[in-house]
Amino acid sequence: MTQPSECAHTPMSPLVGIVVTTRNEARNISACLTSIRDQTYGPIEVVVVDNNSTDGTQALVEPFACTLITAGPERSAQRNTGFRALHGVDIVGYLDADMVLGPAVVQAVVQAIAVDVGAVYVDERIQGHTSFAKARRFERSFYTGSPVDCVRFVASSALDAAGDFDERLTGPEDWDFDRRVRAVTTTSVVTCPHWLDESCWLRCPAVDGRRASSGCSLIHHNEGESSLLRYARKKAYYSAGMTRYIQKWGKSDPIVRAQFSPVNRMLGIFLRRGQWRRVLQHPFLFCAVLATRLTVGLTFLTARGRSENGSTGGEKVAPPAVENSRRARS
């Protein structure tokens, strides 16, 4: 998906590849692909990996200039399939279909990686109008670059060194990928100066009734008008993957402890780097976040307990051989 106005791929204009994973995302996929097409930067190659959608998602992808692949069974395998379909790219990114890029995201990513950075986090803004969506938006605003976030764009050389997604993991595959990337390269954060308010928006029906202004470098995540119960159920589905992740890296691993510690997840992340000031400014939102974290934590522990009945005792699992992507992109 290369902007027609842009020149061909040259050393001065790195080729960016973006993999988008879908499953029954007819509601979101057009907005996602439109946001990639409308980036201020090009060239961009796009691969959509659809997990056998039945709602017409694939038909909505076809008008866009991108590669469409049908593959599953989960996001890790889909992303790896997409990585292998990219050829000659210098920077690799991955999105879920319910994400929309602000128009300046890719340009900001390219600029960051040009200054000897191997991977980039991008600030993410949760969309929605319900009280729960507002609490999720507030919660997510504390996560960028923390142990519960994940790099969104990676230089191809760093991806080759780190390896692809662990296909045994569903849910924490992002955390696993992030820590392997961070082990081989340096990281940076792409943000928008107005990301905590509404000043980076113009009216447009594309995303939550609005559209980001041309200078916006956020990822806008349309989780839908979800509820706490629905969100907790989704996290419960990930419990088996979380257990495998803990077994892979060990309970005593400092990153695992930061990701699963109730104290850190309910207090530490929100108080680091002077962010406690925002907590004091929005006490009711913070209370809603605490209620969310408590509910998710209890749901996870309950689901994990059920899944471990009859297990082999939770011994540490040796990290699998993670396939190197260099073959597929050469």
Q: Which pair of structure tokens corresponds to residue 183?
A: 């082990």
Task: Determine the pLDDT at residue 100.
Answer: 94
Expressed as residue numbers, the domain containing 296 is 228-308
Better pLDDT: 280 or 115:
280
Residue 315 lies in a domain: no
Task: Determine the pLDDT at residue 317.
Answer: 43
Digit-coded pLDDT (tens) for 118-130: 999 999 988 888 8
Q: State how far Cα 151 lies from the chain centre.
A: 7
DSSP three-state, residue 289: helix
Q: Tell me, yes or no, whether 88 and 186 share the same domain.
A: yes
Domain count, the chain: 2
- Mean pLDDT for the stretch of residues 191-216: 53
Task: Determine the pLDDT at residue 214.
Answer: 57
Average confidence score pLDDT of the chain: 84
Q: Tell me, yes or no, whether 153 and 210 share the same domain.
A: yes
Digit-coded pLDDT (tens) for 211-266: 555 568 889 898 775 788 888 888 888 888 999 999 999 999 999 999 999 999 99
Cβ contact 118:188 at 8 Å:
no
Q: Tell me, yes or no, whether 296 and 176 share the same domain.
A: no
Q: Tell me, yes or no, whether 219 and 232 share the same domain.
A: no
Residue in this structure with the two tokens 């994400």, named with its chain if needed: 99
pTM, entire model: 0.86
Final residue before a domain boundary, out of 226, 250, 266: 226
Final residue before a domain boundary, out of 167, 195, 226: 226
- Measured between alpha carbons, how far apart are the two ends of the chain, in Å? 19
Exposure string of 139-169, with b = 16+ CB inside 10 Å and e = fewer, is bbbbbbeebbbbbbbbbbebbbbbbbbbbbb
Q: Tell me, yes or no, whether 246 and 145 share the same domain.
A: no
Digit-coded pLDDT (tens) for 280-323: 999 999 999 999 999 988 888 887 777 666 554 444 444 444 44
Check pLDDT > 80 for residue 59: yes
From the number of C-beta atoms within 10 Å of its C-beta (0-12, 13-18, 19+), residue 13 rates as: middle
